[in-house]
Amino acid sequence: MKRILAFLTAGLLLLSACADQAGAPADLREGGSETEISETVEEEKTVRTSPKENLEFAEENLSEFTPSAATVLDTSKKYGEFEHITYHSDYLDRDRYANILLPADYSEDKKYPVLYALHGYWGDEYSLLDQGDGSIKFREVLGNLISEGEAAEMIVVFPDIFCHPTKEDCDGMNPENNKAYDDFINELSEELMPYIEENYSVATGRENTAITGFSMGGRESLNIGIKMADKFGYIGAVCPAPGLTDDCVKAEDMVFAEGEEPYLLMISAGSNDTVVYNNPEMYHNIFTDNDVPHLWHMVTGGEHWGKTICPHIYNFLRFIFR
């Protein structure tokens, strides 16, 4: 009888062990450590929706205007904090500046995706903040969206994109200064992005990196997004300036290689824009003719400033890093 009981007990223990092993993650069943399992789970959390799925989500959830509540500072919510940084540019052989918006409760123990936000002609690292245009409310919009679970926690970088070899400030709207803005792509790739990745807790890879811009910054975000498609997975442009196809990339080359299609390509325009007029629609038509999937966003009554920028920011923040 004792032998029978011992045999039954051993059998039950064996079955229990097999059940536990079957329910465990694959790498635990194969002898993986708890650390390896944790890393596997963390990697799974960073998997993004496909470009097709993300565009469908964006099309279904696009809001022409910014909801009024999105720009309100709510004392019951947490908002990010700005840092003003100085970094040395070997490319220009001088110090350069940027503002960084860190998420609330920023922690070195977490990895955050990064959005680069580019100003327009005559602007600087403050132009998309309240000091430049108080109607955009970038900090409030992002903080409210994060609090409501509609946007990912992220780091936002606001650089000075005027990259002239000898002049620190733009002094006219002309081909020489246009080139200085176009040359920002070099400083971004060689100086600023490495600085951000070295000094902040950044999740790298194109699925964790986005760029958008206003006016001349919109032209540059398209230029950079196309030429650095292996680095940027999300591309936005609001009221993008003309001249991209003359100075930077031919219309027929405004395409993406297989495997480097953006998770989101979004162009916003204002119906009352008397600065760039219908140039944003021209870019929209080029992408349409080139069979490049993208999101077209027209703001009724929008002009060349905050009335168009804010709705673009509100939507773009909700559609990136999903």
103: phi then psi, degrees, rounded to nearest 5: -70, 155
Does residue 22 carry a pLDDT above 60? no
DSSP state of 188: I
Out of 34-43, 301-310, 311-320, pick the least confident. 34-43
Check residue 296 and give its pLDDT: 98
**pLDDT class of 45 with cuts at 50, 70, 90:** very low
Q: Which stretch of DSSP H or E encloses residue 139?
A: helix 138-147
- Tell me the mean pLDDT in the region 209-223: 98
Its pTM stands at 0.86
Section 42-50 average pLDDT: 58
Percent of the chain with pLDDT over 90: 84
CA distances from 196 to 8, 110, 125, 213, 312 (A): 62, 15, 15, 18, 24
- Pick the range with the lowest mean pLDDT from 36-40, 227-231, 297-301: 36-40
Q: Is the pLDDT of residue 24 over 60?
A: no
Q: Chain-wide mean pLDDT for the chain?
A: 89
Euclidean distance between CA atoms 233 and 122, whole angstroms? 27
Q: What is the mean pLDDT of residues 45-70?
A: 91
pLDDT band at 26 (very low <50, low <70, confident <90, very high): very low
Q: For 136-193, how does the pLDDT look when each residue is reduced to its tens digit (9 = 90+)?
A: 999 999 999 999 999 999 999 999 999 999 999 999 999 999 999 999 999 999 999 9
Average pLDDT over residues 29-58: 59
Is the predicted pLDDT of residue 311 greater than 90, yes or no? yes
Question: Per residue in 231-270, pLDDT tens?
Answer: 999 999 999 999 999 999 999 999 999 999 999 999 999 9
Going by their DSSP bridges, the two strands 94-102 and 155-159 should be labelled as antiparallel
Q: What pLDDT score does 48 carry?
A: 73
Cα distance between residue 308 and residue 311, in whole Å: 6
Tell me the mean pLDDT in the region 94-101. Answer: 97
Q: What contacts 250, CB < 8 A, 6 or more positions away?
A: none
pLDDT at 37: 32
For the chain, how big is the Rg over CA atoms in Å? 24
Q: What's the pLDDT at 47? A: 59
CA-based diameter of the chain, in Å?
Answer: 100
